[in-house]
Structure 1
Amino acid sequence: MLAGIRAHAAHVERYLSRTFSPNTHLSGEALGLFYAGTLFPELRAAGRWQRLGARILLEESERQILPDGVYFEQSTCYQRYTLETYLHFMILARRSGLELPAAVGERVRRMLDFLLAVRRPDGSIPPIGDADGGWLLPLDDRSPEDLRGVFSTAAALFGRSDYAWAAGGAAPETLWMLGPPGLEAFEALSPAPPERAPSRLFPDGGYAVMRSGWSPHDHHLIFDVGPLGCPLSGAHGHADLLGIQCSAFGKRFLIDAGTHGYTAEPEWRDFFRGTAAHSTVMVDGAGQAEPAGPFAWKSRPAARLRRWLTSDRFDYADAEHDAYSRLSDPVRHRRRVLFVKPRYWVVVDDLEGKAEHRVELRFQFAPMVVTVDPTLWARAYAPGRHDLRIRPFAPVPLQAEVREGEQAPIQGWVSPDYGRRRTAPVLIYLAATRLPLRIITLLLPGDRPFAPPPAVSPLLREGDGLAGILFEDSGETVRFDTGGFVVELA
């Protein structure tokens, strides 16, 4: 066995992933060297392996972990994998008497804080970007979205009550990783939700998180306002610029469709990481970026955040991208999301151009029943008595349709885990019109699934443009101008 470890470590040292996949491949290799050098000091190269592994992990923590705690490949799966790597590194270093710079622990905590913010009210971590379902060292049988073991071990290691709250109790992984003292450290904590405000912007990674609170029954929305993948290749990023994911009353409604696979079925690979699998806008049937093989894009456009504000009453994010500037008539997409807490969201999509285009406003749902009526009101039914209603308003006619399980073209599918796929409805509102075009969409969580939809009408501005919406029964109005919004109660 010792000879095998020596051979493996020597091979890893010789073929480090410094040029191809210098991401979790490189950090995982470095952790392997650190383990070999630390646990087997009798091997001649042990000291060199330990120093090299530690040096790489320190360097990569600064390069791969953005200042706001988002992993640079824009993938929650690989963020979790990176977290596992650094938790192992910190625990083993502590046990071997090696003091690490404080910055390492701070970066790890920032990664955990991001996952705490995007964590759904039901406790799961939403898939963002690629996910292969792998774990560094699976010590319990968990789904890829279940990070309770990670939060439990982090709670004991850092003494954080909010991580203990997210863990929901001491996990077996903590006993394996930290032994009985780890369980004692966990039990000494008083689990409590985070003290900071529930809504938060992550400006470096490019995510605006809007939530009504920390309870399992709250509303939650993630708005993607960042780049397509990391600066190196964008390999694990999806073409989901300005996409949203949404939970209401703790139930998942709008989700990322997942990954499914990498190389076995290229057409499915392109679909799941393409724009059509995400809740955003498509123009002329084209994705925001064109694939160039399973792990590359011909171009890597990015969204730009224009404004963010949060208060007790509202969350508001304003962002744009120019991914469709490659069209013969360039198109710019600006999306604004307003959360009127804790009742509803309003999404404003502005498409700027000069010619006629086909515009698709898409909403990818989790597996559930979704219907749409002739007045364009759509209703998604979650288990129990909760629903999410959607109603768009536009100055031109919109066609509404729900597609599910289609293969020509592929649409209406989600992948709950790597290698698996199942049907799920996608709601599409279509218009073929000359730009510019504004669509204002109401996302309304409800707990009266058999009640008729509320009376809501558009507010017009000069020149037949849309200015906002009016709730006719209450008289409440929501208006948008170039710089922001105004919500007025009757």
Structure 2
Amino acid sequence: MSLAWYIRRLRSMSPAEIAHRVRELALKTSARRRTEGWERYASPGGVPRIAGLREAVERASPEVRDAIHRAARRAIEGRFSALGCDWPRRWPGVPLSADLWRLDPVTGRLWPGADTFTFDINYRHERRFGDIKYVWEINRLQFLQPLAAEVALGGDPKALALIEETIGSWHASNPPFRGLAWNSGIECSLRAISLIVVASLAGDRLSNETIARIREILAAHAFWLRRFPSRFSSANNHLVAEAAGELILTIAMPELPRAFALETEARRALEAEASRQILADGMGAEQSPTYGAFTAELLLLAAIAARGSDKPLSAIVDQRLGQFARFVGWIADASGAVPAFGDDDEGRVLSLAGYEPAYAMSVARAISGYLAQTPEGLVSVSPHLRDAIFFAPPAPTPPPRGLATFSSGGLSVVRETRAGRDLVLALDHGPLGYLSIAAHGHADALSLLVALDGRPLLVDPGTYLYHSGGAWRDWFRGTAAHNTLSIEGADQSEISGPFNWGRKADARLDAFQDGATWQLRASHDGYVPKFGVRHERTVEAASDGFTIRDRLLGAETPLPVEIVFQLAADCAASRDGQVVTVTPAIGAPVRIAFETPGDIVLARGAPERSGGWVSPAFGLKHPAWRLAWRGRIGSSGAVVRFVLA
């Protein structure tokens, strides 16, 4: 790993965390040879399972059954897609290759495999092979879940054969602590959860040899998770995933060594992290609604496993899950999609091995079924396996109306009919991210996202890539890519690595007013150290739409700024003087009038530091119109008017 990376990371660590990292390094070094080999993890016994999962799938609706059949058919036909990429097709009858588990489908290159000790693989800084996210994705074995559901429904017998072949191949190709499948706790946990879901649904049909392999894999994963927990600045969604994996593992295999102690620790961690990582108002602490959904789904599956064992988790878990479902109902558009604040790596817990544009809404509906509650704003989305397992409600609920301020997370949402059009507007005035490194936050304080008539209009640019993103990773996280103001091209917060931040902007909601003449006023201090000014943004209702005023509080002289509006990819844009007309693919145009003199720049698909890009899914970037006003402002500010009529 690079010395610069270590230095930046150390700056984010407390003395206690540094001591923990030193101990962790020693444990990883000592794991060589002492923890390898399947024979160490032999665990004779029955089928590891979560009570009630198979019975729930057997009661699935026709729509969910059809979705399961389609997903299983894709897998049987050798098709696998994830993170915006298709893996090479494996034709039926061709045996699985050991290379499948280390192939980067983008570069076509193979990462180190079973010949390499897992902690010797420098995945954070390795660029020759590609982005490790792709290889980790297929190693989660989540594509086996629809196959197991197909078996539970008495479907194609080829599904059972493919499950057994896949588990045999993975077991042979990935011995403990060898290769890249073993170098991350969250990956171990998600894989363990997948295998327990598979065994719960199809275990009665699996061969004794396959059950023995599953149990060995799970026992080795339990050892890994106990030995290398995520703590301190890494204790974000990774910690929730690890604790969920440990709880589900010990419920499914209570005969594991130290199972009772591990289960007790996992319960305590999940109950504590539920209140830390889903805030009191329902927002996820990491600021990303999709990461919030991922955390909620982990808690949800752990909760149903605990309920099935007659030892439910404490009430705080259900309470925070209910608040998250309410939050999703407020921020989702008519299709169920949520604003893309912060990172989204498309992590899932239950999977039909396909892209889910309305993932957070699907999780909110699952929560609603689990809790037997129906918050406002639940819309129908594509049928999913989690609908059957959690008894998601079939009918939508009316959308909420008015202004909601999520004060703990730092987001205000307006939902109303304005100038005869359905408007959903979200203003970000929350923290950069969670914990000291704010790993999945973006420098987007006071960013404004807008959906109109059920379709996105002003959008977050998205995520694109993680480890292999390079300059693009910085662009998609940086201030200039977001619907806010930058001074001289500076970021509000200091990027110090792909998952790390130095100085962080502190944002706050200064005032708000509900009703027909609603108003939101917020500010942040990100530009105080360099420019000595505070950025303030006021968004308020107008008879024909809404207006935005940006000011630089404390400016002695006007400063050069850029105010950005990133349009959705399906919007067209044209300029006439100080007015830009935005034409969505469906629906009436919107006029954006700049009432303060300045230069207006429209860009689409320009080089990265010029913008005009959105990432609709991990690994993909598409050109889209980016509208920027450039001029000099001070305390009097600049005004932009959105005319919807």
Q: Could you say which residue in structure 2 is the equivalent of 1:151?
A: 364
| Aligned alpha-carbon RMSD (Å) | 2.2
* 1:217-252 C-alpha deviation (Å, 9 max, x unpaired): 621110011111124222111111111001112221
Tell me, yes or no, if the aligned pair for 2:352 and 2:384 is still in contact at 8 Å: no
Q: Could you say which residue in structure 2 is the equivalent of 1:60?
A: 273
Counterpart residue identity of residue 123, structure 1: G
Q: Could you say which residue in structure 1 is the equivalent of 2:347?
A: 134
Tell me, yes or no, if the aligned pair for 2:483 and 2:565 is still in contact at 8 Å: yes
Say whether 1:439 aligns with 2:638: yes
Match of 1:344 among 506, 531, 545: 545
Sort the Cα spacing of 1:152 and 1:304 in 2 relative to 1 into closer, same or farther, 3 A. closer
Tell me, yes or no, if the aligned pair for 2:421 and 2:644 is still in contact at 8 Å: no
Say whether 1:371 aligns with 2:570: no
Say whether 1:428 aligns with 2:628: yes
Higher strand fraction (1 or 2) = 1
Tell me, yes or no, if the aligned pair for 1:372 and 1:401 is still in contact at 8 Å: no
Q: Could you say which residue in structure 2 is the equivalent of 1:380?
A: 582
Once structures 1 and 2 are overlaid, which stretch shifts more, 242-251 or 120-129? 120-129
Alpha-carbon distance in structure 2 between the residues aligned to 1:168 and 1:268: 31
Q: Could you say which residue in structure 2 is the equivalent of 1:414?
A: 614
Alignment of 1:348-359 (within 5 A): 348-352=549-553, 353-359=555-561
Alpha-carbon distance in structure 1 between the residues aligned to 2:377 and 2:366: 9
Structure number with higher relative contact order (C-alpha < 8 Å, ≥ 6 residues apart): 2
Tell me, yes or no, if the aligned pair for 1:140 and 1:173 is still in contact at 8 Å: no
Q: Could you say which residue in structure 2 is the equivalent of 1:275?
A: 479
Sort the Cα spacing of 1:44 and 1:227 in 2 relative to 1 into closer, same or farther, 3 A. closer
Alpha-carbon distance in structure 2 between the residues aligned to 1:266 and 1:346: 36
Alpha-carbon distance in structure 2 between the residues aligned to 1:259 and 1:164: 26
Alpha-carbon distance in structure 2 between the residues aligned to 1:234 and 1:44: 35
Q: Could you say which residue in structure 1 is the equivalent of 2:529?
A: 326
* 1:399-427 C-alpha deviation (Å, 9 max, x unpaired): 11101111163411110111110111111
User: 1:136 aligns to what SS in structure 2?
Assistant: coil
Alpha-carbon distance in structure 2 between the residues aligned to 1:152 and 1:65: 17
Sort the Cα spacing of 1:103 and 1:265 in 2 relative to 1 into closer, same or farther, 3 A. closer
Tell me, yes or no, if the aligned pair for 1:153 and 1:174 is still in contact at 8 Å: yes
Sort the Cα spacing of 1:149 and 1:256 in 2 relative to 1 into closer, same or farther, 3 A. same
Sort the Cα spacing of 1:20 and 1:350 in 2 relative to 1 into closer, same or farther, 3 A. closer
User: 1:260 aligns to what SS in structure 2?
Assistant: coil
Sort the Cα spacing of 1:89 and 1:390 in 2 relative to 1 into closer, same or farther, 3 A. same
Tell me, yes or no, if the aligned pair for 1:315 and 1:338 is still in contact at 8 Å: yes
Match of 2:436 among 225, 229, 232: 232
Counterpart residue identity of residue 192, structure 1: T
Alpha-carbon distance in structure 2 between the residues aligned to 1:227 and 1:165: 27
Tell me, yes or no, if the aligned pair for 1:389 and 1:443 is still in contact at 8 Å: yes
Say whether 1:260 aligns with 2:473: no
Tell me, yes or no, if the aligned pair for 2:332 and 2:377 is still in contact at 8 Å: no
Tell me, yes or no, if the aligned pair for 2:330 and 2:377 is still in contact at 8 Å: no
Alpha-carbon distance in structure 1 between the residues aligned to 2:278 and 2:309: 25
Deviation at 1:331, TM superposition (A): 2.0
Q: Could you say which residue in structure 2 is the equivalent of 1:449?
A: none
Tell me, yes or no, if the aligned pair for 1:241 and 1:303 is still in contact at 8 Å: yes
Q: Could you say which residue in structure 1 is the equivalent of 2:54?
A: none
Deviation at 1:49, TM superposition (A): 2.1
Alpha-carbon distance in structure 1 between the residues aligned to 2:498 and 2:534: 27
Alpha-carbon distance in structure 2 between the residues aligned to 1:423 and 1:103: 43
User: 2:222 aligns to what SS in structure 1?
Assistant: helix
Deviation at 1:383, TM superposition (A): 1.4
Q: Could you say which residue in structure 2 is the equivalent of 1:472?
A: none
User: 1:317 aligns to what SS in structure 2?
Assistant: strand
Sort the Cα spacing of 1:118 and 1:444 in 2 relative to 1 into closer, same or farther, 3 A. same
Tell me, yes or no, if the aligned pair for 1:401 and 1:429 is still in contact at 8 Å: yes
Say whether 1:205 aligns with 2:409: yes
TM-score by length of 1: 0.83
Deviation at 1:153, TM superposition (A): 1.9
Tell me, yes or no, if the aligned pair for 1:65 and 1:72 is still in contact at 8 Å: yes
Tell me, yes or no, if the aligned pair for 2:247 and 2:263 is still in contact at 8 Å: yes
Tell me, yes or no, if the aligned pair for 1:74 and 1:205 is still in contact at 8 Å: yes
Match of 2:296 among 80, 83, 92: 83
> Identical aligned pairs, as a percentage?
31
Q: Which segments of structure 1 move beyond 6 Å, counting only runs of 4 or more? A: none
* 1:200-228 C-alpha deviation (Å, 9 max, x unpaired): 000111101011169x9621110011111
Alpha-carbon distance in structure 1 between the residues aligned to 2:500 and 2:378: 38
Alignment of 1:448-459 (within 5 A): none
Deviation at 1:128, TM superposition (A): 0.8
Tell me, yes or no, if the aligned pair for 1:9 and 1:33 is still in contact at 8 Å: yes
Alpha-carbon distance in structure 2 between the residues aligned to 1:154 and 1:427: 38
Deviation at 1:351, TM superposition (A): 1.8
Deviation at 1:169, TM superposition (A): 8.1
Deviation at 1:304, TM superposition (A): 1.5
Deviation at 1:278, TM superposition (A): 0.7
Alpha-carbon distance in structure 1 between the residues aligned to 2:377 and 2:340: 22
Deviation at 1:356, TM superposition (A): 4.2
Q: Could you say which residue in structure 2 is the equivalent of 1:314?
A: 517
Tell me, yes or no, if the aligned pair for 2:403 and 2:415 is still in contact at 8 Å: yes
Counterpart residue identity of residue 54, structure 1: R
* 1:296-336 C-alpha deviation (Å, 9 max, x unpaired): 1221111121111212x132111111211122x41221111
Counterpart residue identity of residue 193, structure 1: P
Once structures 1 and 2 are overlaid, which stretch shifts more, 58-67 or 166-175? 166-175
Structure 2 residue runs without a partner (length 5+):
1-212
Tell me, yes or no, if the aligned pair for 2:583 and 2:590 is still in contact at 8 Å: yes
Sort the Cα spacing of 1:94 and 1:384 in 2 relative to 1 into closer, same or farther, 3 A. same
Counterpart residue identity of residue 324, structure 1: Y
Deviation at 1:3, TM superposition (A): 2.2
Deviation at 1:148, TM superposition (A): 4.3
Match of 1:295 among 471, 495, 499: 499
Counterpart residue identity of residue 398, structure 1: G
Sort the Cα spacing of 1:213 and 1:95 in 2 relative to 1 into closer, same or farther, 3 A. farther
Deviation at 1:167, TM superposition (A): 3.5
Alpha-carbon distance in structure 2 between the residues aligned to 1:231 and 1:99: 28
Alpha-carbon distance in structure 1 between the residues aligned to 2:278 and 2:536: 28
Q: Could you say which residue in structure 1 is the equivalent of 2:141?
A: none
Tell me, yes or no, if the aligned pair for 1:37 and 1:48 is still in contact at 8 Å: no
* 1:42-98 C-alpha deviation (Å, 9 max, x unpaired): 323222222121111011112222211111111112101011011101111111101
Sort the Cα spacing of 1:409 and 1:41 in 2 relative to 1 into closer, same or farther, 3 A. closer
Alpha-carbon distance in structure 2 between the residues aligned to 1:405 and 1:272: 13
Q: Could you say which residue in structure 1 is the equivalent of 2:322?
A: 109
Sort the Cα spacing of 1:146 and 1:137 in 2 relative to 1 into closer, same or farther, 3 A. closer
Which has the higher Rg, Structure 1 or Structure 2?
Answer: 2
User: 2:327 aligns to what SS in structure 1?
Assistant: helix
Q: How many residues align?
A: 429
Structure 1 residue runs without a partner (length 5+):
447-490
